[in-house]
A = this chain, B = another copy of it.
Amino acid sequence: MAKANLFYAQSGGVTAVINASACGVIETARANGDQIGKVYAGLNGIIGALREDLIDTSKESVATIAALRHTPAGAFGSCRYKLKSVDENRAEYLRLMDVFKAHNIRYFLYNGGGDSQDTANKVSMFSIKEGFPITCIGVPKTVDNDLPITDNCPGFGSVAKYVAVSIREAGLDVASMCESSTKVFVMEVMGRHAGWIAGAAGLAAEHEGDAPHIIVFPEIAFDQKAFLNKVKDCVKRFGYCAIVVSEGAHYKDGKFLADAGGKDAFGHTQLGGVAPFLANMIKQELGYKFHWAVADYLQRAARHIASATDVEQAYAMGKAAVQFALAGKNAVMPTIVRKPGKTYRWTVGEAALSDVANIEKPMPRDFISADGFGITEKARSYFAPLIRGEDYPPYKNGLPQYARLKRVLANKKLPAWNE
């Protein structure tokens, strides 16, 4: 019988380093060619498996696979598609089995967040019941940093670095202009349910008066009066106020600030935009001239300023996932384990998918300062090592050179999938 093949898929929102995990998977599989046949990657994630759109990564050169390490976003395509439970949609699970059987796939590596780990776990259990056991290994990924057990999630460190660098730079800009012009700057960052990303921006403030002066967390109900007082105080003391706000900032009743009734030109509720909302509130109540920025995808795609620590960990997770599979493990996910001690050191751990699936890790309350607008020393100690080191992509003509894949699909052997 031919060596078993491996199926790898990217899932959910992409990051600056998810391809570094893919690189770790493919290079490690290639290095173990005596045990693993081909690595197929799902075109657009798990949808690729259902449609039998399998990218044959053996058609990609060594250099192209190596370049994945410095290429942002999902090189094989990702998707927002969650498999339902087996009871609800048994046909999907059967189809996955058919595709895996048809292509001699015995390993399934799923690179995603909590939802994806849940899916991988379900596939593992289903495959055992069906008598065609698939080794299912998760590869952690999420900019939101909300997976349990693992110390942090690949993808997060690079967003953290981007937001800290950006607010430091924009803060200097506002400081330059504040005597006669802009006094308030609001930068909106990702994080609908947890303030990990917003909190990491706080690393930029190393000295009294440094930006950011205020962080608005989704963990703390928004108190308009306290917020405006703090803005006023900052402008008085430092001449300006630089604010980082999480997209998930909300009132006590749970209503998002960004959904607070703003209308667009068509009369529809303005989607997104808590930064302009806060900026306008400040203008209205305090009269300060403002600017605002919404980084959106720029922050999670910013491979040009990725954290070297994050890149290394993303690669290590991909590599470890293959090693776990070869070691006969199943339904587990490699994790990042922070070693005790003052100097940051980490190692690869292991978590059962069932313990990871669908659990969101909130930011601890003691990461947030007593007034609710800043981070504590404890948070700083946690965040600081994750943004360390630069890992610049190669440039040509002033632009970063990212991998361009051929994405050759394997020949289909099954009837089309009826979606």
Chain A interfacial positions (CB closer than 8 Å to B): 10, 13-14, 16, 44-45, 47, 71-75, 77-81, 161, 164-166, 168-170, 172-177, 179-181, 185, 187, 203-204, 206-207, 260-266, 268, 270-273, 275-277, 279-281, 283-284, 291-298, 300-305, 307, 309, 384, 387-390, 392, 395, 397-400, 402, 404
Q: How far is the CA of A397 from the CA of B387 in the complex (A)?
A: 8
Tell whether, in the assembled complex, residue B73 and residue A172 are in contact, meaning their CB atoms are under 8 Å apart.
yes
A307's contact among B277, B291, B296, B398, by CB below 8 Å, is which? B398
A268's contact among B45, B168, B284, B293, by CB below 8 Å, is which? B284
Contacts A265-B280, A291-B296, A392-B390; A169 near B273 (Cβ below 8 A)? no
Tell whether, in the assembled complex, residue B293 and residue A294 are in contact, meaning their CB atoms are under 8 Å apart.
yes
Tell whether, in the assembled complex, residue B399 and residue A203 are in contact, meaning their CB atoms are under 8 Å apart.
yes
CB distance from A189 to the nearest CB of B (A): 11
Tell whether, in the assembled complex, residue B270 and residue A72 are in contact, meaning their CB atoms are under 8 Å apart.
no
Inter-chain pairs besides A73-B176, A174-B297, A292-B294, 8 sampled, C-beta below 8 Å = A71-B172, A80-B180, A161-B398, A168-B399, A169-B302, A263-B263, A293-B298, A390-B398
Kindly list chain B residues whose C-beta atoms are within 8 Å of the C-beta of A79: 177, 179-181
CB distance from A199 to the nearest CB of B (A): 15
Kindly list chain B residues whose C-beta atoms are within 8 Å of the C-beta of A80: 177, 180-181
Q: How far is the CA of A272 from the CA of B77 in the complex (A)?
A: 33
Contacts A44-B179, A301-B172, A397-B388; A265 near B264 (Cβ below 8 A)? no
CB distance from A110 to the nearest CB of B (A): 16
Kindly list chain B residues whose C-beta atoms are within 8 Å of the C-beta of A177: 13-14, 74, 78-80
Tell whether, in the assembled complex, residue B265 and residue A169 are in contact, meaning their CB atoms are under 8 Å apart.
no
Q: How far is the CA of A160 from the CA of B72 in the complex (A)?
A: 20
Tell whether, in the assembled complex, residue A173 and residue B73 are in contact, meaning their CB atoms are under 8 Å apart.
yes
Q: Which residue of chain B has its CB nearest to the CB of A166?
A: B298
Contacts A72-B173, A297-B185, A389-B398; A272 near B264 (Cβ below 8 A)? no
**Nearest 6 A-B pairs (CB), nearest first?**
A74-B176, A387-B398, A73-B172, A293-B296, A169-B301, A44-B179
Kindly list chain B residues whose C-beta atoms are within 8 Å of the C-beta of A389: 398
CB distance from A262 to the nearest CB of B (A): 5
A276's contact among B270, B291, B298, by CB below 8 Å, is which? B270
Tell whether, in the assembled complex, residue B179 and residue A77 are in contact, meaning their CB atoms are under 8 Å apart.
yes
Q: How far is the CA of A78 from the CA of B175 in the complex (A)?
A: 9
Tell whether, in the assembled complex, residue A164 and residue B399 are in contact, meaning their CB atoms are under 8 Å apart.
yes
Q: Which residue of chain B has its CB nearest to the CB of A259?
A: B265
Q: Which residue of chain B has its CB nearest to the CB of A44?
A: B179
Q: List 18 A-B contacts (CB under 8 A).
A: A14-B177, A16-B169, A77-B176, A165-B399, A166-B302, A170-B301, A203-B398, A203-B399, A260-B265, A262-B262, A264-B270, A265-B277, A265-B280, A266-B284, A270-B270, A293-B297, A294-B294, A298-B298
Tell whether, in the assembled complex, residue B280 and residue A266 are in contact, meaning their CB atoms are under 8 Å apart.
yes
Q: How far is the CA of A207 from the CA of B187 in the complex (A)?
A: 33
A298's contact among B187, B265, B388, B400, by CB below 8 Å, is which? B187
Tell whether, in the assembled complex, residue B81 and residue A402 are in contact, meaning their CB atoms are under 8 Å apart.
no
Kindly list chain B residues whose C-beta atoms are within 8 Å of the C-beta of A395: 390
CB distance from A183 to the nearest CB of B (A): 12
Contacts A161-B398, A180-B81, A280-B271; A73 near B169 (Cβ below 8 A)? yes
Contacts A179-B77, A297-B174; A169 near B303 (Cβ below 8 A)? yes
Kindly list chain B residues whose C-beta atoms are within 8 Å of the C-beta of A294: 275, 292-294
